[in-house]
Amino acid sequence: MGKEVPSDFFVTKLNEAKLHFERALDCKHTDFDDLYPYMIEHPQFFWYKRYVAWSELLTIVKLCNELQISWEEQFSQQQVDYINKRVMSSRVLDYWFETNDSREHVS
């Protein structure tokens, strides 16, 4: 068969996906902007960019679950709840950073 992938690889990918999603939430530059530079001109761009980042995060979490790699400690309990529900709602967009009053924006 194939070679075994160490669990720290998935933790690294999980952290990258989390950062990507958080940058998308904050409307900061991501790799997606480089892939589709013309999209910035369209109003739906930021929604789509967030959706792509959320899908990436859920995919990595799904792989971690299937491989029995712990991922929850990388997130707050509220964020874990959002991820487990799998639906990117306005609540996720508004409260991912716990509260709008104390948002910890990514750099």
Q: Alpha carbon 54 to chain centroid distance?
A: 5
Instruction: Count CB-CB contacts under 10 A for residue 107.
Output: 8
Q: Distance (Å, rounded) from C-alpha 96 to C-alpha 14? A: 16
Digit-coded pLDDT (tens) for 5-22:
788 999 999 999 999 999
Confidence category of residue 102, pLDDT binned at 50, 70, 90 = very low
Under the banding of pLDDT at 50, 70 and 90, the label for residue 104 is low
Residue bearing the bigger pLDDT, 102 or 14: 14
What residue spans of 67-89 are helical by DSSP H?
A: 77-85
Q: What is the mean pLDDT of residues 19-26?
A: 93
What letter represents residue 12's amino acid? T
pLDDT, one tens digit per residue, over 40-58 is: 777 788 888 899 999 999 9
Q: Any idea how long the chain is?
A: 107
Alpha-carbon distance of 63 to 67, in angstroms, equals 6
| pTM score, whole prediction | 0.81
Dihedral sign (CA 35, 39, 40, 46): negative
Q: Are 60 and 17 in contact (CB under 8 A)?
A: yes
